[in-house]
Structure 1
């Protein structure tokens, strides 16, 4: 059974343990303060998403772009070459957000704007 159950069992012990494992509490606080932070993390476990699938849409939220009427954008771009690791990463991320319902496929004729995806360098 998955511990990723924010919508149905946010206080599930395994889920809370995973949240506590993921959060780094600095060494500059007392043991009592650390315990208080852990208690707060436990109390508000429903505020933390452990996967992209647990991120909820906000009902009624609308993203509006104030683009002047008549503005045109590119709808075709030259393909960008990725190395095999980058391609695998990109494909996995797209599959993940598709499965989570964050994005959806559309017909190419419905595309209004495109931009190349640039992968950020990983910090060393």
Structure 2
């Protein structure tokens, strides 16, 4: 597997995938391109190849300071999704939930909906 950021970040297959995904502009000479490839390889541990490889930053918490008496709109302004869109969206939500990026919430607990 190439998804070894936390167990083996310099796994050759993982490094090869990172190098494959990073696009280098045509304005670099071949020597410069090789220098960039070497640098990318040496920093392979900072690249996440999937959402599940993103690690939380310790102490980083999003805590907006919104007064208790402020009311936001909770009306959803969204057109219905087509079947393929719904399938894709649900897959992405599952991926983000499994990675711990988002969590389920009961509709009554929603305080604000972004358009």
TM-fit CA distance, 1:20: 0.3
Distance, in Å, in 2 between the alignment partners of 1:75 and 1:24 is 41
Residue of structure 1 in register with 2:37 after alignment: 38
Residue of structure 1 in register with 2:84 after alignment: 85
Residue of structure 1 in register with 2:19 after alignment: 20
Which shows bigger deviation, 78-87 or 10-19? 78-87
Q: CA RMSD in A?
A: 1.7
Distance, in Å, in 2 between the alignment partners of 1:27 and 1:79 is 41
Figure out how many residues of one structure are paired with residues of the other and give that number: 115
TM-fit CA distance, 1:79: 6.1
Residue of structure 2 in register with 1:112 after alignment: 111
Distance, in Å, in 2 between the alignment partners of 1:79 and 1:31 is 49
Residue of structure 2 in register with 1:10 after alignment: 9
Residue of structure 2 in register with 1:120 after alignment: none
Any stretches of 5+ residues in structure 1 without a counterpart? 117-124
Matching of residues 88-107 of structure 1 within 5 Å:
88-107=87-106
Distance, in Å, in 1 between the alignment partners of 2:57 and 2:96 is 17
Distance, in Å, in 1 between the alignment partners of 2:28 and 2:78 is 50
SS in 1 for 2:88: helix
Distance, in Å, in 2 between the alignment partners of 1:67 and 1:80 is 29
Residue of structure 1 in register with 2:51 after alignment: 52
